[in-house]
Structure 1
Amino acid sequence: MNGDALFSIGEVARRTGFTVKTIRFYSDRGIVSPAGRSPAGYRLYSFDAIARLGLVRTLRDLGLDLATTRKVMDRERSLPEVAAAHADALAVQIRTLGMRRAVLMAVAERGSTPEETALMHTLTQLSEDGRRRLIGDFLDAVFGGLGDGPGMAGAMRSMTPELPVDPDPEQIKAWVELAELSQDPAFRAAVRRPAEDLAAQYARTGARTPHRDLGATVRDLVGPALAGGVGPESPEADPVVAALTAHCANALSRADDVDLRRHLLTRLEELHDARRERYFELLAIINGWPAPEALAPVLAWSVQALRVRLPRRGLPRSG
C-alpha cells in the first residue's frame, strides 16, 4: 500500500521543497522522525512525515518559532491557541510598523530636524498607558484646578484623543502630530485661557449652563456677514460687532466699554491660533469625528472689525 511506502531523504526533499540539510535538522530535533532505515543505514520517511513537514513549513512561514512549532506538532499546545496568540503578537508588530511609517512620512513631509524626529519616534513607541499619561498631563495643564463639574468634564472630553485599537495610517499620523503639539508649553497656555474663561462662567452661574462658546457665537454672528461680502471695516459691520460685544458683556457681567472690547479682542486673537485649529482637526481624525468647521475666516474678520473700532493707544499686539 502507498501509505506504507518509505522515501529517502532526497525524495522527501524533492516532494516538500526543503533541503536535505533542513530535513535532517528537523529530524534530529524530533519534529519529523524517520520511519525506518535503509539496509545501508540511510533514513527513510513515510507519507506522514511529508505531511508533518508541510505543516512545519506553514507554521514557520506564519512566524512561529521552532519551540512553539514543536509543541504544536507534539500536541502540547493546540493550534487554535497558538494561532490566536501569534495573531495578537502580529497585531502589535503591525501597529508598531504603522507608527514607524507615520514618523518617516512626517519627517519626509515636514523636513524635520534630527531632534524632532527623535521626539516623534519616542511618541510612537509609547504604550497605551504611556499615551494616556501623556494626554493626561496635557489635559491637566489645560484644565487642572478649574473644577470638575459636568461642564468642565465635558470640555475635557471634547479635547481628549482616543486612538483606536487598530488605527489606520492617517490616525497614526495625526496622533504623532497631536502628541507633539500637546507638549508645546506655548500651546498649552493658549488653550488654557479659554478654559479659565469657561470655568469662570460656571463659577458665576453655579449649576446653570454657561454662556455659549465664543467660537460658536462668532461663527453664527459673523458667518452670514462674511458670506454676504460685508467688510470688517464697513459701517454694515457695526451691528455684528455690537452683537459680539453684547455676548461678551453678558458672559462676563460687565459693561460694554473700551476695556471689555479690548478683552474680547485678546480672546479672539487667542482663538485665532492656527495651532488650536490644527489640534481639533487632528482630534477629529484620531477619534473618527466629523471634520470641524474652520473658524479662521470668521475669527480673522472679527479681530479686524474690533481693531478698527478701538483707540490705537494700548491696543494689544496682534498674534
Structure 2
Amino acid sequence: MDVTNLYSIGELSRRTGLPVRTIRFYSDSGVVAPTTRSPAGYRLYDLDALLRLELVRTLRELGMDLATIQRVLDRKLSMTEVATAHADAMDVQIRTLLLRRSVLRVVARRGSNLEETKLMHRLAQLSGEERRRLIDDFVSGTFRTADADSAAVAMVVAATPDLPDDPTGEQVTAWVELAELVGDEDFRARMRRMAMRQAAGRPLDIERDAGEELTEFTRQKVAETMESGIDPLSDRAAPVIDDLVHRFAEVFARTPDTEFRHWMAQEFEEAHDPQVERYWRLVWIVNDWQVVPSLIPVYPWLIQALRKDRVA
C-alpha cells in the first residue's frame, strides 16, 4: 500500500479540527477504523476515512449520537430518516429553550423569589398535551353536573388556553396564574354557579324590578363608556354613574346616596364573579386574542364605579 496517500492521526486531526483523542476514540469504537498501520504500529487513514470522519463530525455537531451515526455509515438508516427524526427532536429543544427564556425574563422583570421561580418553570414546562389535560380535568371536574349549561361548557372547551412556543412574559405569567386558578376548588364552584345561572336563564332581581327598558339602557350606556376607555374610578365616569343612580333611585323610590349606590353594586354582583372574569381575561392573554369590547361584561365596570366612595 502506498503510504504517501495515507494520513497519520495527527494529520487527520489537523485536517478535520478534531482532537487526536477524539479520533482515537472513534477508531476504538469502530466508527472510523484506521485503514492500516505503519511499520512502527501507528494508525494510518486513507481519503475515505477522512471523508467519513468529517461526516461524523458534522452529524455530531447536529446532535446525533454515535450509535445512530454508526447505523447511518453502515447504511442501516437513511440520512432522510435520521435528519427528519433529529429535526423533530430539535424542534422540541427549541420550544423548550424559548419557553425557558420567557420564564427567565419574567423572573428578571418581577424579581421573583426562588419558590415562585420554581413554580413558574414547572408549570411553563408542561407539554401542550399536559396543558390541555389540565384544562380538560378542570372542565370535567367543574361541569360534571347535569345542571351545567351546555353552551357555557362548549365555550370553555372552545377557548382552551394554548401557550405558544415562544410566549411573551405576559403570556407566561398569565398561564401560571391560570394553571393555579383552574386547580382551585373554590374557583371551580364559582364557575359552576355561573354556568347554572346561565342555564336557568334567571335575570337578576334588580334587572327584573327595574324593568327591561332601564336594564338595557344601563348595559348600553356602560358598554359605550367602557369602549371610550373611561376608567370606572375616574372623574369622567362620575356623570355616567350619577345619571344611572338617579334613574334607578327613581324606579325604586330611594334616595340616590352612597348607601343606595352600594346596594346597587351588591345587587349587580349577583351576576358577576371577579374570579370568573379574571379567568376569561387570562385566556385572552395566553391565546393572544384581541380583546373584543362587546364581549367584556359591563357589570364589573359598573360595580367598581358604584363602589367608589362618593356621594351621588
TM-score (norm 2): 0.70
**Which residue is equivalent to 1:299?**
300
**Which amino acid in structure 1 is aligned with residue 72 of structure 2?**
V
Note the alpha carbon deviations across 1:48-94, whole angstroms, 9 max, x for none.
Answer: 11111111111111111111111112211111211211222222223
**Which amino acid in structure 2 is aligned with residue 266 of structure 1?**
E
Q: Secondary structure at the match of 1:231?
A: helix
**Which residue is equivalent to 1:237?**
244
Given that 1:172 and 1:286 are in contact with CA atoms closer than 8 Å, whether structure 2 keeps it comes out as yes
Distance (Å, rounded) in 2 between the aligned partners of 1:217 and 1:50: 83
Q: Is 1:286 aligned to residue 286 of structure 2?
A: yes
Q: Is 1:265 aligned to residue 268 of structure 2?
A: yes
Distance (Å, rounded) in 1 between the aligned partners of 2:98 and 2:68: 27
**Which residue is equivalent to 1:179?**
179
**Which residue is equivalent to 1:69?**
69
Distance (Å, rounded) in 1 between the aligned partners of 2:92 and 2:75: 26
Note the alpha carbon deviations across 1:257-280, whole angstroms, 9 max, x for none.
Answer: xxx967742235x34x2x544433
Unaligned runs of 5+ in 2: 203-215, 231-235, 253-262
Post-superposition shift, 1:167?
A: 4.7
Q: Secondary structure at the match of 1:281?
A: helix
Distance (Å, rounded) in 2 between the aligned partners of 1:158 and 1:221: 30
Given that 1:261 and 1:306 are in contact with CA atoms closer than 8 Å, whether structure 2 keeps it comes out as no
Note the alpha carbon deviations across 1:219-242, whole angstroms, 9 max, x for none.
Answer: 633133565946268653258759
Unaligned runs of 5+ in 1: 203-215, 246-259, 309-319
**Which residue is equivalent to 2:9?**
9
Given that 1:7 and 1:45 are in contact with CA atoms closer than 8 Å, whether structure 2 keeps it comes out as yes
Distance (Å, rounded) in 1 between the aligned partners of 2:156 and 2:218: 21
Q: Which moved more, 1:61-70 or 1:279-288?
A: 279-288
**For 1:205-224, what aligned pairs fall within 5 Å after superposition?**
220-224=220-224
**For 1:81-160, what aligned pairs fall within 5 Å after superposition?**
81-147=81-147, 150-160=150-160
**Which amino acid in structure 2 is aligned with residue 267 of structure 1?**
E
**Which residue is equivalent to 2:23?**
23
Distance (Å, rounded) in 1 between the aligned partners of 2:88 and 2:18: 29
**Which amino acid in structure 1 is aligned with residue 53 of structure 2?**
L
**Which residue is equivalent to 1:191?**
191
Q: Structure 1's 193 and 234: CA in aligned 2 closer, same or farther, altered over 3 A? A: same
Distance (Å, rounded) in 2 between the aligned partners of 1:282 and 1:17: 52
